[in-house]
A and B are shown apart, each in its own frame.
Chain A
Amino acid sequence: MSPWLQHLPVVPIVAPLLAGALCLLILDRSRARIVLALLSLMVQICAAATLLYLTTDAMPAIWTEGVGTYSIGDWPAPFGIVLVVDRLSAIMLLLTSLVGSAALVYSLAHWDRVAPGFHSLFQFLLMGINGAFLTGDLFNFFVFFEVLLASSYGLLLHGSGSVRVKSGVHYIVVNLTASLLFLIGVSMIYGMTGTLSMAQLPQLVARLDPDDRAIFQSGAAILGVAFLIKAGIWPLNFWLPTAYAASSAPVAAAFSLMTKVGVYAVLRVGTLLASGDVRSSFIDIGLFYGGIATIAYATIGMLSAQQLGRLIAYSVIGSSGMLFMTLGLGIEALTAPALYYLLSSVLATGAFFLLNGMTDRARMLSVSTPADIAPLPDVTYQGFGVRESPDPHSVEDEIGIAVPAAMAFLGLAFVCCVLLVAGLPPLSGFIGKFAILHVLVNTGGDGGMSWNVWALIIAVLVMGLAGVIALSRIGMRLFWTVTGRTTPRLRLIEAGPVAFLLALCIGLTVGGRPIMTYLDSAARSLHSPETYIRVVMSAQTRGDDGQAQEAAP
């Protein structure tokens, strides 16, 4: 094994840690900070892409069966801290680095100059997210959650203003309480099984006495609640729309990843627990009901939202709800389409939040009086800015105005985002939903479909429809009804990241087949974690290898 490649799993944690720390030391040199931050993101993208490549078993000499481990400080698995890379974590790492770099480049236009600590906080946020995807240890999971939350507190307040600070207070209280629940859950699990290693947990759970098992299950339930608060399940998500809508655009784009860290945690810990004792897992029909309620809340929220930012935040909740419903059914074939949907929705909401920042600024430039920020248009002629009922013969009078290129880009990007969020063809949002429905219809084929399959199908369709209605209303106001608008100056540094994220969505659509094959194998190894457990528990410490190599010559 190449001596350097074995350290690769730790790179996504170390690179942002170093970059963030160094950025703190050069607070007076903004250009150097930007270079450092971009460099760190590039390293993360390269590391994540290489890890992804390694998990495809392309180089069987290094990792076999798509799972790789890294023991920190060379302590063997159940005692020391291990980082584990499997297919799911690898693709989540790549997603993080891509969305993170888009948000970072976007922030260079304006937001990173608002406060000098922005780059450090952003790097620490990425470190926390990467760490949460990589860790193979429950307590370390908590630590990385805290790293990402602590930096998210700072980033949410970035830019100041009373709306941000007010929503920030609520956000911090809710998440601090969730962290306390996390600790209670972890310590109960430790108290009953005596381990914090996620790989060792299943076999110890299977051996618990019935009395201890009851306590263990309540511990796992409390832990699950902590995960679900982060993932934004109803009724634990009332903080989310305000906080996400109040945060600055690049921060909101990075936040759209954060709810999915909760979903990842549910999936990772849930499948591992299920392999030990099915009843201890929190992937259960309860998750399905939670998902229904979450989707209902998101749908109502989307329809009632008066600002684009809030609407996108509700669609983030909706995508979480969709994932809960799909996973809660407990059909293993649904996991891969759900993961595809997750990738697509993170990219789409990320792009949408960035776009929202641009249209917001366009409005701020052109709309001078607050009276112009009218309530949403009714679906009437007046709402469209038409005074009277149109006379079909007078069409020639209004040939139309030339649309400036900037508005054309904004409009086109908006349409793409709507298609993605609402799940309409031809983009990847549709493919994700279609794949879910396809599996549902196929599995329910024999002996008729059960009612919960129907419920999921109806929820998918209703949420898509509500998304289209709500987004087209907002789109009308943004692009059609504001009169006297000055053309916003479109800067490449802002438009580029949006275009980049949308291009990734198109890439997801075009490359649907290889991506789906990869996700299928990710889902398979998730549902049969024997490989994961075996590789982690049998991981040789590098020290032994080193001694063996030294002895050999």
Chain B
Amino acid sequence: MEAIVAAAIGVLTASGVWLLLRPRTFQVIMGLALLSYAVNLFIFGMGRLVMDRPPIIKGDAIDPALYADPVPQALVLTAIVISFATTALFLVALLAARGLTGTDHVDGKEPGQ
């Protein structure tokens, strides 16, 4: 499982970085979205990958090995919300830039102009 998750994070990051460096704003925003997915998975992975273990302690059993770490799950939730919101904000700036400059190039002008 570790290998699959690691590969998924790697592929997401690689495509995210590649798209981030592309000249069109739409590609950039896609790249940022992919990168934020990769980061969210990464945070999740930092709480160790375990199966069939609840994050909430029930009863008197306090052996931590029986439970998943709840903190990264809470962090992921916060990170998802924040990156979602900032990406939406970026989308607004991007549309404004498209409207004002008439091009979707990140520099606000077509290359060669």
Contacts and interface: CB of A to CB of B under 8 A. Distances in A.
B45 to A, nearest CB: 8
Contacts of A149: 86
Nearest to B35: A180
Interface size grouping (class) on chain A? 20 to 34
A184 B20 contact: no
Contact of B107 (A154, A166, A177, A194): A166
Contacts of B82: 143, 146, 179
A221 to B, nearest CB: 16
B100 A165 contact: yes
A112 to B, nearest CB: 20
B86 A139 contact: no
Interface string B28-69: 100010011001001101111000000000000000000001
B90 A172 contact: yes
Contact of B35 (A172, A177, A194): A177
A176 B32 contact: yes
B100 A162 contact: yes
A173 B89 contact: no
Given A170-B106, A179-B86, A183-B79, A153 B93 contact: yes
A169 B105 CA distance: 11
A168 B45 CA distance: 33
Contacts of B97: 162, 165-166, 168-169
Interface stretch (A185-193, A260-268, A362-370): A185-193
Given A150-B86, A187-B46, A169 B32 contact: no
Contact of B32 (A150, A157, A177): A177
Contacts of B87: 176
A160 interface: yes
A196 interface: yes
Contacts of A170: 106
Contact of B78 (A139, A161, A177, A191): A139
Given A180-B39, A188-B46, A162 B101 contact: yes
A128 to B, nearest CB: 12
A139 B75 contact: yes
A161 B46 CA distance: 43
A187 B72 contact: yes
Given A157-B96, A190-B71, A166 B42 contact: no
Contacts of B10: none
Nearest to B108: A166
A154 B42 CA distance: 29
B14 interface: no
A194 B72 CA distance: 10
A146 B35 contact: no
Contacts of A187: 39, 42-43, 46, 72, 75
Contacts of B107: 166
A173 B72 contact: no
Contact of B101 (A166, A172, A180, A191): A166
Contact of B93 (A165, A188, A190, A191): A165
Interface string B81-113: 011011101100110110011000011100000
Nearest to B95: A165
B21 to A, nearest CB: 10
Given A139-B75, A190-B71, A160 B96 contact: yes
A279 to B, nearest CB: 22
A194 B39 CA distance: 18
Nearest to B69: A194
A157 B28 CA distance: 19
A150 B85 contact: yes
A446 B48 CA distance: 52
Contacts of B106: 169-170, 173
Contacts of A146: 82, 86
Interface in A136-163: 139, 143, 146, 149-150, 153-154, 157, 160-162
A196 B71 contact: yes
A134 to B, nearest CB: 18
A176 B86 contact: yes
Interface string A410-422: 0000000000000
Contact of A153 (B39, B46, B71, B89): B89
A139 B94 CA distance: 28
Contacts of A186: 75
A190 B100 CA distance: 43
A191 B69 CA distance: 10
A143 B46 CA distance: 19
| Closest A-B pairs by Cβ, 7 of them | A191-B46, A187-B43, A162-B100, A166-B108, A187-B46, A165-B97, A165-B96
Interface of A: 139, 143, 146, 149-150, 153-154, 157, 160-162, 165-166, 168-170, 172-173, 176-177, 179-180, 183-184, 186-188, 190-191, 194, 196
22 contacts: A153-B89, A162-B100, A162-B101, A165-B93, A165-B96, A166-B108, A169-B108, A172-B90, A173-B20, A173-B106, A176-B86, A176-B90, A179-B83, A183-B39, A183-B43, A187-B42, A188-B46, A190-B72, A190-B75, A191-B48, A191-B72, A196-B71
